[in-house]
């Protein structure tokens, strides 16, 4: 039920294992890599994952492909993306909140095989050697006329979910090296995609939560005169900062900001307000009485008389610490996804060098020269990076040319 995954230290040169599926493999490899690139540049998660499953499923000859998310709190999985071949009925709706305890045997086998660098492929021919309860649980995994199933865990450190492909009939002996390599690549892409999507969902939920707070007026509200002395604070403000109204009214509003740099920035924001531009929105971090550092978003407004003199300042604030953390995590997830994309492009360049040893290091030199030209032209960082990556694989067409012709 297993097949060894490729390892860099024992992988053979490309030319030694070219099979009848080589051209299809490189086309599939390019396709799934392009899908990841589209996600980096903003394409929605769901259509991207369905396309990823379709490209991989068709290459493997599968009838169905699934991506499951795993909920650690309920110990359940839910199918979040599904692809099915023509005339194969979808099952996504019935694969929601599925308790995974009954499938412990299969998951344990999968964990053992993956830790040994192998992939889990289960077929109906193996039912006879299983205990009755294990056989019954595995039968539930094989829907309708499906006779074999590949399942792989998504997540290198913690389990984020599972990716699965079902077949009318497939055995481990039939799996080719290119198929195993593509599975390993797609599994890594799925991990990046799930991490990226989960972080993006957090940002969305934080944004919705902030909107609800604003609508319910659960805000930190304060007013102060032209000299900066508090004239009004609401109950939420007092409760949040741990102060009483009679303790704060009349004191200077800027003095409660302990960080000198932040205080000067806030003062500068207020001084920048004019009758033609009376409102400003800004974010800053502040240390509270309990020692915690919290991020706030403030909308500051100045009220002016007819002569343009300041009558009063009004500020409405909200704690956005969780939103800021979610944004930072999203940026990290995007950076990780981008690095994976760069490594993929670099790997393709190295494969091209193996394919044509007479031009070894040519790809790298062209990329470096192209990068230098882009910098001399004054192009931006992102454009320069894209030119560099494109130059690394400018000879991608050589992959499909027989090695004998290149040499």
Q: What is the pLDDT of residues 215-239, one digit of tens each?
A: 455 678 888 998 889 998 888 888 8
CA distances from 362 to 226, 366, 383, 402 (A): 67, 6, 21, 19
Please give the pLDDT value at position 405: 45
Alpha carbon distance 317, 348 (integer Å) = 50
Arch. (CATH architecture) of 217-319: 2-Layer Sandwich (3.30)
Task: Give the DSSP letter of residue 72.
Answer: T
Q: Is residue 320 pLDDT above 80, yes or no?
A: yes
Phi, psi of 252 (to 5 degrees): -75, 125
pLDDT at 39 over 70: yes
> Which has more confidence, 211 or 324?
324
d(CA 199, CA 323): 11
Beta bridge partners of 226: none
> Quick one: 250 exposed, middle or buried, by C-beta within 10 A (0-12, 13-18, 19+)?
exposed
- Would the pLDDT of 400 be above 90? no
116-130, 278-292, 374-388 — which is least confidently predicted? 116-130
226, 312 contact by CB (below 8 A): yes
How far is CA 299 from each of CA 14, 152, 281, rounded to the nearest angstrom? 60, 49, 5
Q: DSSP class of residue 310? A: E
Q: Is pLDDT at 67 greater than 70 in this prediction?
A: yes
| H-helix segments, 116-166 | 132-141
Instruction: Determine the Cα–Cα distance for residues 113 and 98; give it in Å rounded to an integer.
Output: 23
pLDDT one-digit tens code per residue, 345-370: 667 666 666 655 555 566 667 777 87
- Give the residue-averaged pLDDT of 175-197: 82
pLDDT greater than 90 at residue 121: no
Closest CA to 3 of 176, 143, 159, 144: 176
b/e map 155-186, b = 16+ CB within 10 Å: eeeebbbbbbbbbeebebeebbbbbbbbbbbb
pLDDT score at 274: 92
What are the tokens at 150? 């590949």
Q: What is the mean pLDDT of residues 103-126?
A: 77
* Tens digits of residue pLDDT in 304-313: 988 899 999 9
Exposed/middle/buried for 109, CB within 10 Å: 0-12, 13-18, 19+? middle
Q: What is the CA radius of gyration of the chain?
A: 29
Residue 397: pLDDT band with limits 50, 70, 90: low
Q: Give the pLDDT confidence of 374-388 residue by residue, as tens digits.
A: 788 888 877 787 777
372 pLDDT more than 80: yes
| Mean pLDDT over the full length of the chain | 77
Quote the CA–CA distance of 346 and 342 in Å, as a whole number: 6
Q: Which residues of 209-219 are buried (b: 16+ CB within 10 A; e: fewer)?
A: ebeeeeeeeeb
Task: Give residues with Cβ within 8 angstroms of 165, minimum separation 6.
Answer: 56, 57, 60, 62, 64, 65, 66, 149, 150
**Of the options 3.40.50.150, 3.30.70.120, 3.30.450.40, 3.90.320.10, the CATH number for the domain spanning 1-214:** 3.30.450.40
Retrieve residue 173's tokens: 């002996």
Taking residues 180-192, what's their average pLDDT? 83
Q: What is the mean pLDDT of residues 278-295?
A: 84
What integer pLDDT is reported at residue 107 of this predicted model?
81
Q: Please determine, for residue 279, whether its predicted confidence score (pLDDT) is greater than 60.
A: yes
Return d(Cα 47, Cα 67) in angstroms, integer.
12
Structure tokens given for 47: 């259509």
Tokens read off for 111: 């964990």
C-alpha to C-alpha distance for 57 and 52, rounded to whole angstroms: 8
Distance from C-alpha of 22 to C-alpha of 59, rounded to nearest angstrom = 11
- 22 vs 155: which has the higher pLDDT: 155
210/273: higher pLDDT: 273
């Amino acid at each position: 039920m297993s097949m060894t995954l490729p390892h860099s230290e024992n992988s053979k040169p490309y030319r030694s294992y070219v099979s009848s599926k080589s051209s299809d493999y490189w086309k599939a490899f390019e396709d799934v890599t392009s899908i990841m690139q589209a996600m980096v540049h903003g394409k929605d998660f769901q259509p991207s994952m369905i396309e990823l499953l379709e490209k991989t499923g068709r290459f493997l000859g599968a009838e169905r492909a699934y991506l499951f998310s795993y909920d650690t709190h309920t110990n359940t999985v839910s199918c979040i993306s599904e692809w099915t071949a023509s005339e194969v009925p979808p099952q996504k709706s019935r694969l929601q909140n599925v308790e995974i305890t009954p499938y412990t045997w299969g998951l344990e086998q999968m964990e053992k095989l993956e830790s040994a660098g192998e992939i889990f492929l289960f077929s109906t021919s193996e039912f006879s050697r299983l205990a009755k309860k294990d056989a019954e649980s595995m039968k539930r995994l094989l829907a309708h006329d499906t006779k074999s199933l590949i399942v792989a865990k998504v997540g290198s450190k913690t389990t984020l979910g599972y990716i699965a492909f079902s077949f009318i009939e497939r055995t481990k002996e039939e799996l080719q090296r290119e198929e195993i390599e593509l599975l390993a690549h797609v599994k890594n892409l799925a991990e990046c995609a799930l991490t990226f999507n989960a972080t993006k969902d957090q940002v969305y939920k934080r944004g919705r939560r902030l909107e609800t707070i604003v609508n319910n007026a659960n805000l930190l509200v304060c007013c102060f005169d032209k000299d900066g002395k508090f004239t009004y604070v609401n109950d939420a403000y007092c409760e949040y900062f741990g102060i009483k109204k009679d303790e704060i009214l009349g004191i200077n509003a800027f003095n409660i900001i302990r960080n000198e740099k932040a205080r000067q920035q806030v003062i500068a924001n207020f001084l920048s307000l004019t009758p033609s531009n009376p409102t400003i929105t800004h974010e800053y971090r502040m240390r509270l009485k309990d020692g915690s550092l919290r991020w706030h978003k403030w909308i500051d407004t100045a009220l002016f008389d007819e002569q343009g003199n300041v009558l009063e300042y009004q500020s409405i604030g909200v704690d956005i610490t969780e939103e800021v953390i979610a944004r930072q995590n999203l940026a990290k997830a995007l950076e990780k996804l981008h690095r994976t994309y760069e490594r993929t492009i670099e790997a393709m360049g190295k494969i091209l060098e193996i394919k044509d040893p007479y031009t070894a290091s040519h790809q790298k030199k062209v990329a470096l020269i192209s990068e230098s030209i882009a910098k001399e032209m004054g192009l931006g960082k992102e454009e320069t990076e894209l030119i560099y990556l494109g130059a690394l694989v400018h000879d991608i067409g050589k992959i499909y040319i027989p090695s004998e012709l290149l040499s």
